[in-house]
Amino acid sequence: MSSWTLKSIPPHDWFLCLDIESYFDHEHEPEKVFEEGFTRPIPIGDTDVIVTIFFNGDPENPEFHIESAETLSKNEISEANKSLAKILGTDMDIRPLYDQAKDDPVLGDKLTDLYGLKRMTRANLFEDILYRIVQMQMNHKPTAKKMMFKIREAYGAALMLGKKSLPAWPRPHQLMKADPANIRKLGPTLRKGQYLVGLANDIVAGNVDMNHLMTCGPKEFYDEITSIRGIGPTSGQDLMMMRGRTDAVFPSNKKSGEEKGLRRWIIWSYGEDPHNTSEDRFQKLIRNWKDYEAAGLEFLYVNYVLKEKEEQAKK
């Protein structure tokens, strides 16, 4: 057994994430995480290991205690921490956003209400893309999560958590030989199966570089990710939010004169017309977001989710 501590740049209140179902996968029950920890498989080199994560509950001195039934070397723990840092957002420093956007008419109050929020993602960009493709155009997200879990069972490494099986996420080399028709039997459409297998093959062939996509600038990321078959403008913008970085761009994506995607939502949040807002005006609206566009948007997203839950509870 191995255990270690992973520190996060404050402020970080990970417990805020427990209310956001999209952060979690099919096997997770967020309401139990507070006491039982957050358990999931993570890639370490060529192997996959199940870890359980516990948060100390202190936004100003945030630490995560990590446990694994496996005996891991220092190098393996270091590799595990790379995945954990992306999942949890521990390396993101959003302190400047609190200062530069404290008086922003849209972000100001949300920075206070959701103090310490950092977005959760999956262990690497490939996992993020797989799930994004599976859940595209599906309104019932639990079903999409179940489909993704079935794909993990079929193509990922089989791991054991006590007496139960917990499949790892498939690697590109595991998914590249899959038959899209067999993926169709697991729930996703045939076309989505083709997108998944095609991406896996492109990564193995060197046509798509995940490391480059993680480190390049936001505009370059957007241009390259939307060139991948199956990733449109909206998906490309969403995936930009999942890199464990604070920065992002929100390119205009008009169809029939109507703005689409994240840009539309941001402009609407400022009380203006998304379909008739110039680039110059848009940049003025988000001037307080500079270099923290991805982090800023997450405050809008989580606030929206929580407000929706409040409305549902009243009905």
What CATH code is carried by the domain that includes residue 87? 3.30.310.20
Cβ neighbourhood burial of 6 (10 Å; 0-12, 13-18, 19+):
middle
Total structural domains within the chain: 2
170 and 303 fall within a common domain:
yes
pLDDT digits (tens, 9 = 90+) for 268-301: 999 999 999 999 999 999 999 999 999 999 999 9
181 and 305 fall within a common domain:
yes
**Has residue 112 been placed in a domain?**
no
* pLDDT number for residue 113: 97
Cβ neighbourhood burial of 91 (10 Å; 0-12, 13-18, 19+):
middle
User: Is the pLDDT reported for residue 315 higher than 80?
Assistant: no
222 and 291 fall within a common domain:
yes
180 and 296 fall within a common domain:
yes
Nearest-angstrom CA–CA distance, 40 and 86: 13
9 and 149 fall within a common domain:
no
**Has residue 98 been placed in a domain?**
no
71 and 161 fall within a common domain:
no
**Has residue 111 been placed in a domain?**
no
Domain that holds residue 223: 125-314
**Has residue 300 been placed in a domain?**
yes
pLDDT digits (tens, 9 = 90+) for 11-62: 999 999 999 999 999 999 999 999 999 999 999 999 999 999 999 999 999 9
Confidence of residue 133 (pLDDT cuts 50, 70, 90): very high
175 and 263 fall within a common domain:
yes
Length of the chain: 315
- The model's pTM is 0.94
**Has residue 212 been placed in a domain?**
yes
Confidence of residue 310 (pLDDT cuts 50, 70, 90): confident
Confidence of residue 314 (pLDDT cuts 50, 70, 90): confident
**Has residue 241 been placed in a domain?**
yes
The CATH number that applies at residue 135 is: 1.10.340.30
137 and 16 fall within a common domain:
no
150 and 297 fall within a common domain:
yes
**Has residue 115 been placed in a domain?**
no
141 and 262 fall within a common domain:
yes
Of 65, 91, 117, the domain-final residue: 91
Q: What are phi and psi of 43, to 5 degrees?
A: -80, 135
Of 46, 75, 91, the domain-final residue: 91
**Has residue 32 been placed in a domain?**
yes
166 and 273 fall within a common domain:
yes
Q: Which residues contact 93 (CB under 8 A, 6 or more apart)?
A: 9, 246
pLDDT digits (tens, 9 = 90+) for 137-180: 888 889 999 999 999 999 999 998 988 899 999 999 999 999 99
Work out the percent of the chain whose per-residue pLDDT is above 70: 100
What is the overall mean pLDDT for the chain? 95
Q: What is the mean pLDDT of residues 71-93?
A: 97
Q: What is the mean pLDDT of residues 220-230?
A: 96
300 and 215 fall within a common domain:
yes
**C-beta contacts of 145-148 below 8 A and 24+ residues apart:** 145/25, 145/26, 146/26, 146/187, 147/186, 147/187, 147/188, 148/25, 148/26
